[in-house]
Structure 1
Amino acid sequence: MSAQMLLPPDPAEYRYALYCHSHALGLSHQPRPPVALYRDEQSARLHGVRMWPSAFEVVDLQGEHRP
Structure 2
Amino acid sequence: MSNNQLAKPDPTAYRYAVHSCSYKLDLAQKPDRAVALFDNEALANTFGRLMWPSFYEVVDIRAGEES
TM-score range, shorter chain: 0.7 to 0.9
Identity among equivalent pairs (%): 43
**How many angstroms does 1:28 deviate by?**
1.2
Residue 4 of structure 2 aligns to a residue whose secondary structure is helix
Which runs of 4 or more aligned residues in structure 1 lie more than 2 Å from their structure 2 counterparts after TM superposition? none
Task: Determine if the alignment matches structure 1 residue 26 to structure 2 residue 26.
Answer: yes
Gaps of 5+ in 1: none
Question: CA RMSD of the aligned region, Å?
Answer: 1.5
**How many angstroms does 1:26 deviate by?**
2.9
Residue 9 of structure 1 aligns to a residue whose secondary structure is coil
Q: Which structure has more strand as a fraction of its residues?
A: 1
Q: Could you tell me whether the CA contact under 8 Å between 2:23 and 2:32 is conserved in 1?
A: no
Residue 17 of structure 2 aligns to a residue whose secondary structure is strand
Residue 6 of structure 1 corresponds to which residue in structure 2? 6
Q: Distance in 2 between matches of 1:25 and 1:44?
A: 21
Q: Which structure has more helix as a fraction of its residues?
A: 1
Residue 39 of structure 2 corresponds to which residue in structure 1? 39
**How many angstroms does 1:53 deviate by?**
1.4
Letter in 1 for 2:34: P
**How many angstroms does 1:41 deviate by?**
0.3
Residue 48 of structure 1 aligns to a residue whose secondary structure is helix
